[in-house]
Chain A
Amino acid sequence: AQSVTQLDSQVPVFEEAPVELRCNYSSSVSVYLFWYVQYPNQGLQLLLKYLSGSTLVKGINGFEAEFNKSQTSFHLRKPSVHISDTAEYFCAVSASNNDMRFGAGTRLTVKP
């Protein structure tokens, strides 16, 4: 089965600074990759997904991620963060509809 490792449990950053949230995965088959965001006391919302095609994926709220097959990574980036980006971010990998695996999450805190 596939697995996901989010390399940072917490990322503090100042407002308007760039940010990168790191995600590595392992799988013996081709996978689909996702980033979800969870605001306090809410469910998960899809930020972006990679299914096929261009390795640079753009999502909502100015986020983007790059699929790197050779490094088995799918890092999430934003060039300039806002206070409102403070949330928990989850990377997920899926090889089929039946089996999506989530990372442990990265808590992004944006400070003024």
Chain B
Amino acid sequence: NAGVTQTPKFRVLKTGQSMTLLCAQDMNHEYMYWYRQDPGMGLRLIHYSVGEGTTAKGEVPDGYNVSRLKKQNFLLGLESAAPSQTSVYFCASSFSNEQFFGPGTRLTVL
């Protein structure tokens, strides 16, 4: 099992550019999440999904969109990147109240 994988690992964007982060899990979990991690702030939930075709807003959803077209994939989109979105992004899936994390994507917006 690969667990939770994230693509890409690193990305540099210019302000105003768009991009999509891909998260994939092979554990057949219903729940999936996107977090951002910033120094001194821990992880904050951006959006989450409770199953294929469903999404919901988390704590810091502004500037992001998500889609869950297939159960194993959860996509995070930035339509018009801003320097404030420079962060490390983590995807997770969960089963029985335990979350399993991917290795992260380091995004820099110039």
Which residues from chain A sit less than 8 Å from chain B, CB to CB? 4, 9, 32, 34, 36, 41-46, 49, 51, 90, 94, 97-100, 102-105
Write the B89-104 contact mask toward A (1 if CB under 8 angstroms, else 0). 0101010011111111
22 A-B contacts, Cβ less than 8 Å apart? A34-B98, A43-B90, A43-B101, A43-B102, A43-B103, A44-B43, A45-B101, A46-B98, A46-B99, A46-B100, A49-B98, A51-B97, A90-B42, A90-B43, A97-B50, A98-B31, A98-B50, A99-B45, A102-B43, A104-B41, A105-B40, A105-B42
Question: B98 and A98: CB pair below 8 A?
Answer: no
Write the B5-26 contact mask toward A (1 if CB under 8 angstroms, else 0). 0000000000000000000000
- Nearest B residue to A9 via CB reads B40
Which residues from chain B sit less than 8 Å from chain A, CB to CB? 4, 31, 33, 40-45, 48, 50, 56, 90, 92, 94, 97-104
A98 cross-chain contacts in B, Cβ below 8 A: 31, 48, 50, 56
CB distance from A29 to the nearest CB of B (A): 13
Question: A97 and B43: CB pair below 8 A?
Answer: no
- Nearest A residue to B38 via CB reads A104
- Nearest A residue to B91 via CB reads A43
A43-B90, A104-B40 known; A97-B31 Cβ under 8 A = yes
Q: How far is the CA of A102 from the CA of B101 in the complex (A)?
A: 14
Question: B90 and A97: CB pair below 8 A?
Answer: no
Question: A103 and B102: CB pair below 8 A?
Answer: no
A104 cross-chain contacts in B, Cβ below 8 A: 40-42
**Top 5 A-B pairs ranked by shortest CB distance?**
A102-B42, A43-B101, A102-B43, A44-B101, A43-B103
Q: How far is the CA of A82 from the CA of B69 in the complex (A)?
A: 44
Q: How far is the CA of A102 from the CA of B44 in the complex (A)?
A: 7
B42 cross-chain contacts in A, Cβ below 8 A: 4, 90, 102-105
- Nearest B residue to A43 via CB reads B101
Q: How far is the CA of A57 from the CA of B21 in the complex (A)?
A: 36
CB distance from A1 to the nearest CB of B (A): 9
User: Which interface residue of B44, B102, B104 has the most chain A CB atoms within 10 A?
Assistant: B104
User: Which interface residue of A49, A98, A105 has the most chain B CB atoms within 10 A?
Assistant: A98
